[in-house]
Amino acid sequence: ETGVTQTPRHLVMGMTNKKSLKCEQHLGHNAMYWYKQSAKKPLELMFVYSLEERVENNSVPSRFSPECPNSSHLFLHLHTLQPEDSALYLCASSQDKRGGDTIYFGEGSWLTVV
């Protein structure tokens, strides 16, 4: 299944590094999301883009910076992260339409901050 693909799958970075996570969806959807999944915690919504416009930013620290250049691509730029930011970062997409829709997740990017 290659509907939502994320790269890299694994990333180790130092606290002073700058890196980016990339997500691409091949489903023709118009909404994309970043979620954070930490051990023992619920999935946390970080950012939502609908029609390439950010519609939600759930009080995420500024060291995480999203970018959505078009409806198929979503980036998460990372810099000066903390060890507690180590987690699985999941990208997702959906077709934004009245009445509800299904959110499809990518396989995730495992991030370790050392």
Binding site for another protein (CB under 8 A): 31, 33, 40-45, 48-50, 55-56, 90, 94, 96, 98-108
**Hey, what amino acid is at 44?**
E
**Hey, what amino acid is at 27?**
L
Q: In this structure, how many other beta carbons lie within 10 angstroms of the beta carbon of residue 95?
A: 13
By CB neighbour count within 10 A (0-12 exposed, 13-18 middle, 19+ buried), where does 11 fall? middle
CB of 103 to another protein, least distance (A): 6
- Helix, strand or coil for residue 4? strand
CB of 21 to another protein, least distance (A): 15
Which of 16/70 has CB closer to another protein? 70
Which of 75/104 has CB closer to another protein? 104
CB of 80 to another protein, least distance (A): 27
